[in-house]
Amino acid sequence: MVYLSNLFAFGEEGLAYASLYFITSAMVAGTAGVYVASLGKAGYREALVGLLKIPIIYAVVFALVFVGFGWSLPTPIMRPVSIFSDAAIPTMLVLLGLQLGRAEWNGKILELMTANGLRLVVSPLLALGVGALFGLQGTMRQAGVLEASMPTAVMATVLATEFEVEPAFITAVVFSSTLLSPLTVTPLLAYLGG
């Protein structure tokens, strides 16, 4: 959804900026997010050691080395990597579907409204402020703000399930923010000129 939104709204240049945003966000979620989530089941030391088990850290290091040296993976290795990467989003959506049956809607309406308000309203407003603070303009600003306005990622359900941190509630947040996002993203796109 994120990539398509930026591609359709701002073209290839928007997609390039969205990709940078996504990689940065994935690194934060794959390190700080995993660390915080794992504190629910482990102490500080165990949580830090647990970070060594997260593949995104190694993937980014390898990617930086390969890009830095201008290397590319040999075809026999690239084909399975490509197949696995194509399966990532459908796999996460299946997990979300399985978790939807256990989503908690009752008694958590205020928490749901707060989470959705932070994600769909406060986050893009902060992105506009940060963009202005750093002097971002044009497509770079537009793509960054649009990325910040997207609904809560399915990865939140994956982490909540893995670390047993209220997966039913997090699933409800992911699902409801996805349903509500057209109400906030559409006027934002009109404002950004996409």
Distance CA 149, CA 190 (A): 13
Question: For residues 131 and 148, is the Cβ–Cβ distance under 8 A?
Answer: no
Statement: residue 70 has pLDDT above 90: yes
| CA distances, 190 to each of 17, 110, 182, 183, 194 (Å) | 19, 29, 12, 12, 6
Q: Over the stretch 21-33, which tens digit does the pLDDT of each residue have? A: 888 888 888 888 8
Distance CA 87, CA 75 (A): 18
Q: Over the stretch 160-189, which tens digit does the pLDDT of each residue have? A: 888 888 888 999 999 999 999 999 999 999
Statement: residue 4 has pLDDT above 60: yes
Question: For residues 93 and 159, is the Cβ–Cβ distance under 8 A?
Answer: no
The torsion of the CA quartet 159, 163, 167, 171, rounded to 10 degrees, works out to: 0
Q: Is 13 exposed, middle or buried (0-12, 13-18, 19+ CB in 10 A)?
A: middle
Q: Is the dihedral of CA 125, 126, 128, 129 positive or negative?
A: positive
pLDDT tier, 100 (very low <50, low <70, confident <90, very high otherwise)? confident
Calculate helix-pair angle for 75-100, 154-162, nearest 10 degrees.
Answer: 80
Question: For residues 115 and 152, is the Cβ–Cβ distance under 8 A?
Answer: yes
Range of the domain at 59: 2-192
pLDDT winner (highest mean) among 1-5, 46-50, 67-71, 83-87: 67-71
CB half-sphere exposure, 80, CA atoms < 13 A: 3
Query: How many CB atoms within 10 Å of residue 152?
Result: 23
Question: For residues 161 and 167, is the Cβ–Cβ distance under 8 A?
Answer: yes
Q: Is 25 exposed, middle or buried (0-12, 13-18, 19+ CB in 10 A)?
A: middle
- Considering its fold, how many domains does the chain have in total? 1
Question: For residues 172 and 151, is the Cβ–Cβ distance under 8 A?
Answer: no
Tell me the pTM. Answer: 0.81
